[in-house]
Amino acid sequence: MKRVIFLVLGIFLLAGCITAPGGTAGTTGGTGGAGVQQNQTINVNVGETAGTQTGGGTQGGTVPATGAAGGETVTPPAETNPLDAISHKEITFTTQDGWKIYGTLYYSGSDQYSRPTKAIVLIPELGKERSSYDELVPLLHNAISGADIIALDMRGHGKSTNLGTYQAFQTGDFRASKNDLKALRDYLGVSRPSITTYYIVGTSMGSSIAMDYAASHDEVAKLVMISPGTAYRDFDINEYAQAYLHELYITAASEDSYSMASANTINAESPSDTKVLKIYYSISDHGTELFDATKDKEQPLLPLVADWLK
């Protein structure tokens, strides 16, 4: 009888040690008793990181969307200035009437030892400096081989102010500005003697000065006039337009009424048989401002000028 009793007690004790599949003896998640939680799971939403546990919860922070491992901040590469990729130097020379003129010479090749055959001269409008052509220079450099590019501070502008500033200029002072171009030609004749041909780009009053010079200098084979005026500040250029015989490109905005009328007049009077008249409609911008104003047009001015000068 005692053996039967001990056998029953043994079976009862053995049953208390057996758990159902997937359960854990003495834990919640089993079928009965309350115990210590050993397998607690912390849920973290996507885009958050688990922070310090407080009372079984989390203090999460948002992971910066940097695209770098470990949450590092990625700094985008700095934009580079296209002008820095072109070998260049600042030049200075003195005119016959005493003005000290400054400019930037962009070499046709990789350095000063290149042997260019052409010079492209950029003349800003009244009140602006050589930097107004910064967007055009790289296009010209890439489009036209064998050409030095020279952007000038004309007398009274930028650094070229040893005898005063343009604010006091009269008509005669504008006419005398072609001396700046004569002095540049003399300077290049010594420092860049391989140059035999000149292209000139001028805006507004700068285009009047360019036409004045080009009409009596056969080395100017191409001339670009942007927003010209036939008699701006009483500087009448009609006779020069009638005397210039080489290639001519004229452009203006339709709402810039004086320049558009002047462009049409110059085109009509020019004896050149290789000339282009380009009018941009529904805009009023003037001079180098046309570079930005026409960027969204079907034919942006910047590449048009570079292509025409090829």
CATH architecture of 82-308: 3-Layer(aba) Sandwich (3.40)
Phi, psi of 135 (to 5 degrees): -75, -30
Name the least confident of 51-60, 136-145, 292-301.
51-60
Three-state DSSP string of 121-136: EEECCCCCCHHHHCCH
Name the least confident of 47-51, 102-106, 132-136, 276-280.
47-51
Higher-confidence position of 10 and 152: 152
Q: Alpha-carbon torsion 251, 255, 257, 261, what sign? A: positive
**pLDDT band at residue 72 using 50, 70 and 90 as cut-offs:** low
Give the whole-number percent of the chain exceeding pLDDT 90: 72
Higher-confidence position of 236 and 23: 236
Q: Which residue has the tokens 């200098």?
A: 217
Q: Does 66 have pLDDT greater than 60?
A: no
How far CA 199 is from CA of 108, 122, 204, 222, in Å, comes to 14, 9, 17, 5
Q: What residue spans define the domains of the chain?
A: 82-308
Give all strands of the β-sheet with 118-123 in edge-to-edge order: 88-94, 100-106, 147-153, 118-123, 197-203, 220-226, 247-253, 275-280
Whether the CB-CB separation of 175 and 240 falls below 8 Å is answered with: no
Q: Which residues contact 220 (CB under 8 A, 6 or more apart)?
A: 198, 199, 200, 213, 214, 244, 246
- Scanning 96-255, the segments in alpha helix (DSSP H) are 136-143, 171-175, 178-191, 205-214, 238-243
Q: Are strands 197-203 and 100-106 parallel, antiparallel or unpaired?
A: unpaired
Predicted pLDDT at 226: 98
3-state secondary structure of 230: coil
pLDDT digits (tens, 9 = 90+) for 153-204: 999 999 999 999 999 999 999 999 999 999 999 999 999 999 999 999 999 9
Q: Does 214 have pLDDT greater than 90?
A: yes
